[in-house]
Structure 1
Amino acid sequence: MYRIFQNSRFLTIGNWLKLVLAVQLVIVGLLIAADVSMRWEFAGTSPKLSIESPVSPGDQVRKYQPVLPRVETPDTDLDHTIDLAADQPTRLVFSIHQSSDLNSVLHMHGEIAQGDANRFSAYLETLASPPEVIAVNSTGGIVDEALQIGRIIREQEFNTQLSALEICLSACPYILAGGIERRVSREGIVGLHQHYYETPGFMPVFLAVENIQRGQGRTMAHLIEMGIDPGVMIHSLTTPPNDIYVLVEDELIQSQMATQIVE
Structure 2
Amino acid sequence: MRLSLPRFDRFDVRRWLRVVLLVQVGIAVVMIAGDWLGRYRPQPPSAVPEMTTPVAPGDQRRRFDPARPTPRRDAPALPPGIELPSNYPDRLTFEREEVEGIGSVLLLNGAIAPGDADRLETYLAGLTEGDAPEKAPATIALSSPGGEVSEALAIGRVLREAEKNTVILPGMACMSACPYILASGQERRVSPDGYVGMHQHYYDENLYMPAYFAVEEIQRGQGRTMEYLIDMGVDPGVMIYSLTTPPEDIYILLPEELLDSQLATAMLE
Q: Which residue of 1 aligns with 2:106?
A: 106
Cα deviation, residue 150, structure 1: 0.6
User: Gaps spanning 5+ residues in structure 2: where?
Assistant: 1-14
Alignment counterpart, residue 21 of structure 1, candidates 16, 21, 24: 24
Residues 146, 175 of structure 2: 8 Å contact kept: yes
Other structure's SS at 1:82 match: coil
Query: Could you say which structure has the larger radius of gyration?
Result: 2
Does residue 140 of structure 2 align to residue 154 of structure 1? no
CA distance in 1, matches of 2:216, 2:22: 25
Other structure's SS at 2:55 match: coil
CA distance in 1, matches of 2:223, 2:169: 29
Does residue 261 of structure 2 align to residue 258 of structure 1? no
Change (3 A) 1:161 1:107: same
Q: Which residue of 2 aligns with 1:9?
A: none
Residues 162, 185 of structure 1: 8 Å contact kept: yes
Q: Which residue of 2 aligns with 1:56?
A: 56
Task: Please give the per-residue CA displacement for 1:43-82, whole angstroms capped at 9, x wherever unaligned.
Answer: 323343222421111101000111114599443xxxx742
CA distance in 2, matches of 1:51, 1:188: 13
Identity of aligned residues (%): 47
For 2:259, give the aligned amino acid: I
CA distance in 1, matches of 2:138, 2:188: 12
CA distance in 2, matches of 1:198, 1:207: 13
For 2:268, give the aligned amino acid: V
Task: Please give the per-residue CA displacement for 1:29-56, whole angstroms capped at 9, x wherever unaligned.
Answer: 598379x56xx89532334322242111
CA distance in 2, matches of 1:123, 1:72: 30
For 2:234, give the aligned amino acid: I
Task: Please give the per-residue CA displacement for 1:192-239, whole angstroms capped at 9, x wherever unaligned.
Answer: 001112464311111112121111111111111111111111111111
Task: Please give the per-residue CA displacement for 1:154-212, whole angstroms capped at 9, x wherever unaligned.
Answer: 11111000011100000000100000010000011100001112464311111112121
Residues 73, 81 of structure 1: 8 Å contact kept: no
CA distance in 1, matches of 2:151, 2:172: 20
Does residue 185 of structure 2 align to residue 179 of structure 1? yes
Q: TM-score, normalised by structure 1?
A: 0.83
Change (3 A) 1:202 1:96: same
Change (3 A) 1:243 1:72: closer
Other structure's SS at 2:106 match: strand
Residues 103, 132 of structure 1: 8 Å contact kept: no
CA distance in 1, matches of 2:143, 2:119: 17
- The RMSD of aligned alpha carbons is 3.0
For 1:224, give the aligned amino acid: I
CA distance in 1, matches of 2:76, 2:107: 14
Task: Please give the per-residue CA displacement for 1:81-133, whole angstroms capped at 9, x wherever unaligned.
Answer: 42111111111010111344683210000011111111111111221233110
CA distance in 2, matches of 1:102, 1:233: 29
Change (3 A) 1:102 1:143: closer
Q: Which residue of 2 aligns with 1:242?
A: 248
CA distance in 2, matches of 1:142, 1:195: 9
Residues 73, 83 of structure 1: 8 Å contact kept: no
